[in-house]
Chain A
Amino acid sequence: MNDLMGLIYTGDNGDRMNELTALRAVAAVPVCSRYRVIDFLLSSLVSGGARNVGVITQKNYRSLMDHLGSGKEWDLHGKRQGLVILPPFLTADSVGVYSGLMDAIRSNQQYLRRSRERYVLVTDSGILYTADFDAMLSQHIRNGADITLMYSNDKGLLRSGSGHYMRLDEHGRVREMESSPMLPRFESVYMEAFLIRRELLIELTDRAVSRAHYHFTREVLLQAVRDESLKIYGWQNQSPVWRLDSVQAYFDCSMALLQSSVRRQLFRPDIPIWTKIRDEMPTRYAPGAQVKNSLLADGCIIEGTVENSVLFRGVRVHRGAVVRNAVIFQDGYIMEGAHVEGCILDKQVTVREGLTLSAPRTYPVVISKGTIV
């Protein structure tokens, strides 16, 4: 306990999801009715005993800052430790705009040096998962590993031309690794999260950046796997995982969460997921409302029909309106007789009376924040 700290990198994935990430980092993208992507990382870290978590921000981080606040919701508002937001910071040591994870870590090495924990879990924020970091740390220590990489065998993570794939031997040691192949040869997918001794991370970062190597995976990991200079192991995460790198991927993730079995694996009783709360009243299902196979947050008022959809807080579906196969963010307003199908409505979108918004399931459409259709 308390020997683990977290470092979350939110910098690299600015524009993968079109309008959804135009004004916010992927870490701040709303997901599963009442959360943001980063809630799953923070909550997993806190459940794993981390009391010191740094969040490296890069671009469009206002929404993320607003969400995180003092870190109170995750019990990360302590006096000795807690949540530390690390925005770009231009000094002689820090370049502000990072060329990669190594660069970002080096720019924040003062924070790492000041921290007391022996181990640090470094994670990107483009993949949605929950993790038992306590189990990962135990395995890391048992193996005497230098670095433990989190991986998944979920086929949904496979991508042509991107991602990192690895082969493990019977002891779980990573023997081969490839980066962005057109045809991935290994089925274990690196989840962009690794565990390492804090001192070693500082040392590796310094060594890499001083040689103009900024990419952790390509320039540090691949090299170390090849020449066996570091003992690199894998730890398999059995949690459902989604790589949030396109609107379609986001939409598929939302629809998958409608399955109770998937939710039960993602929301484990031993890892409660905390988020910023809004103190909304429970959701009102008016007489005549028809709701089937849907996830809803509090504060909604449903008078119409909602099917196979994910509704965030404060959504209003008026009489005669139909919402089907859709994702509606906070404070969406679907007026009488309107039809919304196959769309993702960002926050505060209004769909006027009688209008129809429809997209095929294979090509979900995003309506930008605040739009009145």
Chain B
Amino acid sequence: MIRKKECVAMLLAGGQGTRLGVLTRHMAKPAVPFGGKYRIIDFPLSNCTNSGIDTVGVLTQFQPLELNAYIGSGAPWDLDVSNGGVYVLPPYHTGKTGEWYRGTANAIYQNIPFIQQFDPDYVLILSGDHIYKMDYAAMLRHHIEHQADATIAVRQVPWEEASRFGIMNTDPEGRIIEFEEKPPQPKSNNASMGVYVFTWAKLRAYLERDEQDTKSSNDFGKNIIPTMLGDGCRMVAFSFNDYWKDVGTVSSLWEANMDLLTTPLPIDLHDKKWRVYARSFGSGPQFIAADAEVDDSLVTEGCEVHGCVKHSILSTGVIVEEGAQVIDSVIMPGSIIRNGAVVRRAIVAENAEIGAGAVVGGAKGDIAVVGQGVLVPEGEKVPAGTQCGQ
């Protein structure tokens, strides 16, 4: 017998992440490694746990293998509880019907039976492409206090970037009066973070209605929210102005990693009261050899450094051989930088190997990317801004 939950979280992890190029060729975007020992999805999952939300549905669609294996029973996030926990929800067929998730709203629509079994009062909708620490419980309280039908998390973005976001125009009490998707002339700089709390009964009715509309693209931003606004639903903004970074592109992913090398940390991952949890793989301690040089960097378990690492992030089990140089780069788990290779302003994905004397990236130009499992042969060059991978 499943007991009632006040709030169930639904994490939209189905995006293809095409803007990340070779990095998402073999894995869903939320499974992309970040910050040495994390994956992007660790942030929303840890936020749920830290906010006291113990029931999370993760909606997957593309390349779910790595993500499923990573989530497993949910134990790393304390989400392996018997009443609730983490559920991976791929699209499925039921006899004659069944199909892929057509849009964000359709993904939730297809999982109405999943949500309904917890009979929740509220549903929290999250996306898996941002790095941030947020107390969803505070947002839920805000929603309840304002007797809202929907609460949308917003943050102030620089005016010049506002036209890239969904912009919420609010009255002085914080009630949303207008929503504009990527407006050329924004009236405010309150951008939607793609984090929503809905009163479940209300959302359910709108999802069902939206499904009937064959012209709808079944999307929260394009359809559900504008329709609810048009109907005069009570929709409020919840403002969040701490660190929040989109990691949907190669350059933003690289920048967000580099943010962890600034002092003070813009996002405190040392905070014992708000841990960001990650799955651990039983690697040994990190070893910095006698002839190594590690400066202004983050290094984690299982790494062995014999060469020079500057202003970079080394993930679990990375090996930097003698004479190799890693500068301004992100090296993802299990990769090896061979003797004398130079990696500069680059992202090297998981289990790649940079052959002896190879050169990846450069001092200037766009970020170079080496895909998962790729071997860059000895002496080969991967110029700045190029991506190499199958």
Q: Does B75 contact A (CB under 8 A)?
A: yes
A297 contact set on B, CB distance < 8 A = 285-286, 301
Q: Determine whether the beta carbon of B296 is less than 8 Å from that of A294.
A: no
Q: Does A322 contact B (CB under 8 A)?
A: no
B275 to A: closest C-beta gap in Å = 5
Of A43, A273, A294, chain B has the most CB atoms within 10 Å of the CB of: A294
Q: Determine whether the beta carbon of A295 is less than 8 Å from that of B285.
A: yes
B283 contact set on A, CB distance < 8 A = 272
Q: Determine whether the beta carbon of B299 is less than 8 Å from that of A260.
A: no
Q: A260-B287, A263-B287 are in contact. Are A279 and B294 (CB under 8 A)?
A: no
Q: Does A299 contact B (CB under 8 A)?
A: yes
A39 to B: closest C-beta gap in Å = 10
B295 contact set on A, CB distance < 8 A = 285, 287-289
Q: Does B36 contact A (CB under 8 A)?
A: yes
Q: Would you call the interface of chain B mostly helix, strand, loop, or mixed?
A: loop
A267 contact set on B, CB distance < 8 A = 284
Q: A274-B282, A277-B280 are in contact. Are A285 and B296 (CB under 8 A)?
A: yes
Q: Does B89 contact A (CB under 8 A)?
A: no
Q: A282-B37, A298-B300, A299-B270 are in contact. Are A292 and B290 (CB under 8 A)?
A: yes
- Proximity string of chain B (258-272) to chain A, C-beta cutoff 8 Å, 1 when within and 0 when not: 000001000001100
**Which residues of A293-310 are within 8 A (CB) of B?**
293-299, 301, 310
Q: Does B277 contact A (CB under 8 A)?
A: yes
A273 contacts which of B270, B278, B284, B290 (Cβ < 8 Å)? B284
Q: Would you call the interface of chain A mostly helix, strand, loop, or mixed?
A: loop
Q: Determine whether the beta carbon of A291 is less than 8 Å from that of B288.
A: yes
- Chain B residue with minimal CB distance to A308? B290
A297 to B: closest C-beta gap in Å = 5
Q: Determine whether the beta carbon of B286 is less than 8 Å from that of A296.
A: yes
The answer for the CA separation of A43 and B282 in the assembled complex, in Å, is: 10
Q: Does A358 contact B (CB under 8 A)?
A: no
The answer for the CA separation of A33 and B294 in the assembled complex, in Å, is: 18
The answer for the CA separation of A275 and B309 in the assembled complex, in Å, is: 28
Of B289, B291, B299, B313, chain A has the most CB atoms within 10 Å of the CB of: B299
**Which residues of B290-315 are within 8 A (CB) of A?**
290-292, 294-301, 304, 309, 313-314
Q: Does B32 contact A (CB under 8 A)?
A: no
Q: Determine whether the beta carbon of B277 is less than 8 Å from that of A279.
A: yes
A282 contacts which of B275, B284, B296, B313 (Cβ < 8 Å)? B313
| Total cross-chain contacts (CB, 8 A) | 95
B106 to A: closest C-beta gap in Å = 35
**Which residues of A192-219 are within 8 A (CB) of B?**
none
The answer for the CA separation of A277 and B281 in the assembled complex, in Å, is: 10
Q: A273-B284, A295-B285, A297-B285 are in contact. Are A279 and B299 (CB under 8 A)?
A: no
Q: Determine whether the beta carbon of B288 is less than 8 Å from that of A296.
A: yes
**Which residues of A249-293 are within 8 A (CB) of B?**
258, 260, 263, 267, 272-275, 277, 279-289, 291-293
Q: Determine whether the beta carbon of A295 is less than 8 Å from that of B287.
A: yes
Q: Does A32 contact B (CB under 8 A)?
A: yes
Q: A288-B295, A299-B270 are in contact. Are A282 and B288 (CB under 8 A)?
A: no
A197 to B: closest C-beta gap in Å = 31
The answer for the CA separation of A84 and B286 in the assembled complex, in Å, is: 32
Q: Does A72 contact B (CB under 8 A)?
A: yes
Q: Determine whether the beta carbon of B286 is less than 8 Å from that of A283.
A: yes
Q: Does A164 contact B (CB under 8 A)?
A: no
- Proximity string of chain B (18-38) to chain A, C-beta cutoff 8 Å, 1 when within and 0 when not: 000000000000000001110
Q: Does B276 contact A (CB under 8 A)?
A: yes
A4 to B: closest C-beta gap in Å = 20
Q: Does A34 contact B (CB under 8 A)?
A: yes
Q: Determine whether the beta carbon of A294 is less than 8 Å from that of B288.
A: yes
Q: A32-B285, A33-B285 are in contact. Are A298 and B301 (CB under 8 A)?
A: yes
B308 to A: closest C-beta gap in Å = 12
Q: Determine whether the beta carbon of B299 is less than 8 Å from that of A285.
A: yes
A72 contact set on B, CB distance < 8 A = 75
A34 contact set on B, CB distance < 8 A = 284-285, 301
A354 to B: closest C-beta gap in Å = 23
The answer for the CA separation of A289 and B263 in the assembled complex, in Å, is: 14
Q: Determine whether the beta carbon of A292 is less than 8 Å from that of B280.
A: no
B327 to A: closest C-beta gap in Å = 13
A287 to B: closest C-beta gap in Å = 4
B314 contact set on A, CB distance < 8 A = 282
- Proximity string of chain B (96-125) to chain A, C-beta cutoff 8 Å, 1 when within and 0 when not: 000000000000000000000000000000
B294 contacts which of A277, A280, A289, A298 (Cβ < 8 Å)? A289
Q: Determine whether the beta carbon of A287 is less than 8 Å from that of B296.
A: yes
B35 contact set on A, CB distance < 8 A = 281-282
The answer for the CA separation of A33 and B285 in the assembled complex, in Å, is: 6
Known interface pairs A286-B263, A301-B270; 7 further A-B residue pairs with C-beta atoms within 8 A, sorted by A's residue number = A33-B284, A34-B285, A267-B284, A273-B282, A285-B299, A289-B294, A296-B285
Nearest 7 A/B pairs, CB to CB = A33-B285, A282-B300, A282-B36, A281-B269, A272-B282, A293-B290, A287-B296
The 7 sampled A-B contact pairs (Cβ below 8 Å) are A34-B301, A43-B282, A279-B277, A281-B298, A282-B37, A283-B286, A292-B290
